[in-house]
């Protein structure tokens, strides 16, 4: 068995890993970069209308034989989750390569396509995987394991072939709503004495201590809603279903009504059967507001029919703003609120602080201030804290640790004597 990190050995984003054995080649994730070579934010729009050759030359896509262009085709792509830094280049891959993903990951990609301008993949490319259920691809036995992260339907993959074994972590955390997922992973993996662990290290070397967990964040959001006098605007990714639950619970406990937008309602509709999230239209008192842009751009007939009487118009919200917590994104200021946010609104922001430097969020903070409101960041990371990572890797007890999804691969060597950082494109045998 050999492993190659095509990209992600020294950066967060653009993850792409190849594991091969006995003539079978598996690709784990095909992500879009988040930063360019100067670590400035990567502009995904620069990929539009470019050929595969141009994108390879520009180092936007890694040069993996047969994955995007010419050469012998890999046998399968295994997707860990739907975030663009893991899935954002899938639409450029050779259409004959099957993509294995959980039902949840496929659902979130569909939602991203309909509501967040992400690229659509033909249905026939999706091959469903079931956490805990092994399947074979050529020489490999592949077992997905559920992990907790900031989108729905995430897995790690155990790959076994040639009498060797490798676990790819995908993205994960131990401070979410489902800490038992990592307990189960440890219970399954530790006894097998795996040969290699390819481990995400977003927070390695960040110097950040252990932060709050999702339940503590929910309590903070509740207090923040309780202090608000007027309309609360809630800004978070609807694909992060556990964060959606934090907002729905906090809203209920604060005695307010949760107003989902069409995107959030669609995600609720997809995941209702598999989570605590109620089906839109069935959950009183959740109401649905159809944002102006979605209404104009999308055919929302199916969603609209399912929602029925739960629908709410802006007038009703503005008549008694103190009763509602409303899902919000910056484009709504212009399209829905006529350029002026409701007086005294409180905007709670639940995403990475780095995005606040972007023009739309800079403008949004200004507009909240102009409305006499306040802007309150309330967030916890989707990635495992360094302290938890040390605990997890120690418990998994692999023969060798290979860092990925980190700007500090050398930080692994400080924690683990068996850490072997690789370079992008470097092929390494698993022994």
Q: How near is the Cβ of 210 to Zn ion at its closest, in Å?
A: 19
Q: What's the token pair of residue 260?
A: 């989902």
Nearer to Zn ion, 83 or 329 (CB): 83
Contact 292, 282 (CB under 8 A): no
Contact 405, 200 (CB under 8 A): yes
H/E stretch holding 19 reads: strand 16-21
**Distance (Å, whole) CA 34 – CA 340:** 32
Nearer to Zn ion, 149 or 400 (CB): 149
Q: How near is the Cβ of 151 to Zn ion at its closest, in Å?
A: 6
Nearer to Zn ion, 160 or 242 (CB): 242
Q: How near is the Cβ of 384 to Zn ion at its closest, in Å?
A: 11
Q: Write out the binding residues for Zn ion, residues 23-52 only, by CB under 5 A.
A: none
Strands 232-235, 324-327: parallel, antiparallel or unpaired by DSSP?
A: parallel
Closest among 426, 424, 427, 429 to 61, alpha carbons compared: 424
Window contacting Zn ion (CB under 5 A); options: 96-104, 171-179, 301-309, 384-392: 171-179
Is 83 a binder of Zn ion (CB under 5 A)? Answer: yes
Nearer to Zn ion, 87 or 312 (CB): 87
**Distance (Å, whole) CA 84 – CA 25:** 22
Q: How near is the Cβ of 70 to Zn ion at its closest, in Å?
A: 30
Window contacting Zn ion (CB under 5 A); options: 52-60, 128-136, 169-177, 239-247: 169-177
Window contacting Zn ion (CB under 5 A); options: 80-88, 231-239, 243-251, 264-272: 80-88
- Neighbour count for residue 335 (Cβ, 10 Å): 15
Q: How near is the Cβ of 272 to Zn ion at its closest, in Å?
A: 23
Nearer to Zn ion, 201 or 280 (CB): 201
**Distance (Å, whole) CA 402 – CA 418:** 9
Nearer to Zn ion, 83 or 378 (CB): 83
Angle, CA of 171, 174 and 180, to the nearest 5°: 110
Q: What's the token pair of residue 367?
A: 């507009």
Which DSSP string do the residues of 91-143 spell out, in sequence order? GGS-TTS-EEEEHHHHHHHHHHHHHS-PPP--GGGEEEE-TT--EEETTEEEE
Q: Write out the binding residues for Zn ion, residues 252-271 only, by CB under 5 A.
A: none
Residue 348 is given by DSSP the state E
Q: How near is the Cβ of 414 to Zn ion at its closest, in Å?
A: 24
Window contacting Zn ion (CB under 5 A); options: 107-115, 166-174, 212-220, 238-246: 166-174
Nearer to Zn ion, 83 or 125 (CB): 83
Contact 106, 271 (CB under 8 A): no
Q: How near is the Cβ of 379 to Zn ion at its closest, in Å?
A: 15
Nearer to Zn ion, 34 or 233 (CB): 34
Window contacting Zn ion (CB under 5 A); options: 76-84, 189-197, 315-323, 399-407: 76-84
Is 171 a binder of Zn ion (CB under 5 A)? Answer: yes
What count of Cα atoms within 13 Å lies in the side-chain half-sphere of residue 386? 16
Q: Write out the binding residues for Zn ion, residues 101-140 only, by CB under 5 A.
A: none
Window contacting Zn ion (CB under 5 A); options: 2-10, 163-171, 232-240, 416-424: 163-171
Q: How near is the Cβ of 80 to Zn ion at its closest, in Å?
A: 8
Number of residues that bind Zn ion (CB under 5 A): 2
Give Cα 307 distance to the centre of its chain: 26
Nearer to Zn ion, 25 or 83 (CB): 83
Q: How near is the Cβ of 268 to Zn ion at its closest, in Å?
A: 21
Q: How near is the Cβ of 351 to Zn ion at its closest, in Å?
A: 13
Interhelix angle 103-115/262-271, nearest 10 degrees: 160
What is the biggest distance separating any 2 CA atoms in the chain, rounded to whole angstroms? 67
Nearer to Zn ion, 164 or 203 (CB): 203
Nearer to Zn ion, 171 or 261 (CB): 171
**Distance (Å, whole) CA 342 – CA 372:** 9
Closest among 417, 403, 388 to 200, alpha carbons compared: 403
Window contacting Zn ion (CB under 5 A); options: 6-14, 78-86, 353-361, 417-425: 78-86
297: Cβ–Cβ under 8 A, 6 or more apart, which residues?
Answer: none
Strand partners, 165: 160
**Distance (Å, whole) CA 234 – CA 219:** 15
Is 242 a binder of Zn ion (CB under 5 A)? Answer: no
Window contacting Zn ion (CB under 5 A); options: 16-24, 59-67, 82-90, 137-145: 82-90
- Site residues for Zn ion per CB under 5 A: 83, 171
């Amino acid at each position: 068995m050999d492993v190659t990190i095509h990209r992600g050995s020294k950066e967060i984003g653009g993850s792409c890993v190849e594991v091969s054995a006995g003539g079978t080649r598996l690709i784990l994730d095909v992500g879009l970069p988040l930063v360019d070579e100067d670590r400035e934010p990567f502009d995904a729009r620069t990929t539009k209308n470019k050929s595969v050759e141009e994108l390879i030359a520009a180092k936007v896509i890694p040069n993996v034989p047969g994955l995007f262009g010419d050469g012998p085709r890999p046998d399968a792509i295994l997707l860990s989750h739907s975030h663009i830094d893991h899935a954002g280049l899938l639409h450029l891959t050779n259409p004959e390569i099957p993509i294995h993903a959980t039902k949840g990951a496929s659902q979130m990609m569909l939602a991203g396509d309909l509501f967040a301008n992400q690229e659509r993949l033909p249905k026939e490319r999706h091959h469903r995987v079931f956490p805990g259920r092994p399947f074979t691809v050529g020489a490999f036995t592949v077992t997905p394991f559920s992990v907790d992260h900031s989108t729905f339907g995430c897995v790690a993959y155990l790959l076994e072939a040639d009498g060797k074994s490798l676990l790819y972590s995908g993205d994960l955390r131990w401070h979410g709503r489902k800490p038992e997922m990592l307990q189960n992973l440890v219970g399954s993996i530790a006894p097998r004495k795996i040969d290699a662990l390819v481990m995400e290290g977003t927070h390695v070397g960040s110097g950040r201590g252990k932060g709050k967990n999702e339940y503590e964040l929910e309590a903070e959001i509740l207090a923040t809603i309780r202090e608000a006098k007027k309309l609360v605007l809630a800004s978070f990714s609807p694909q992060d279903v556990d964060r959606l639950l934090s907002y729905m619970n906090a809203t209920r406990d604060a005695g307010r009504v949760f107003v989902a937008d069409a995107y959030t309602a669609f995600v609720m509709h997809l995941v209702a059967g598999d989570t605590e999230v109620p089906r839109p239209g069935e959950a009183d008192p959740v109401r649905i507001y159809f944002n102006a842009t979605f209404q104009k751009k999308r055919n929302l007939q199916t969603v609209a029919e399912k929602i029925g009487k739960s629908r709410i118009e802006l007038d009703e919200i503005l008549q008694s703003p103190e009763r509602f917590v409303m899902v919000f994104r910056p484009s709504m200021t212009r399209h829905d609120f006529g350029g002026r946010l409701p007086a005294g609104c409180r905007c709670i922001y639940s995403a990475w602080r780095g995005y606040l430097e972007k023009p739309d969020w800079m403008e949004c903070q200004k507009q909240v201030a102009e409305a006499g409101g306040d802007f309150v960041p309330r967030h916890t990371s989707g990635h495992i804290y360094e302290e938890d990572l040390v605990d997890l890797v120690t418990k998994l007890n692999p023969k060798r640790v290979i860092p990925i999804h980190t700007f500090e691969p050398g930080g692994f060597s400080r924690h683990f004597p068996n850490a072997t950082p690789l370079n992008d494109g470097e092929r390494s045998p698993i022994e």
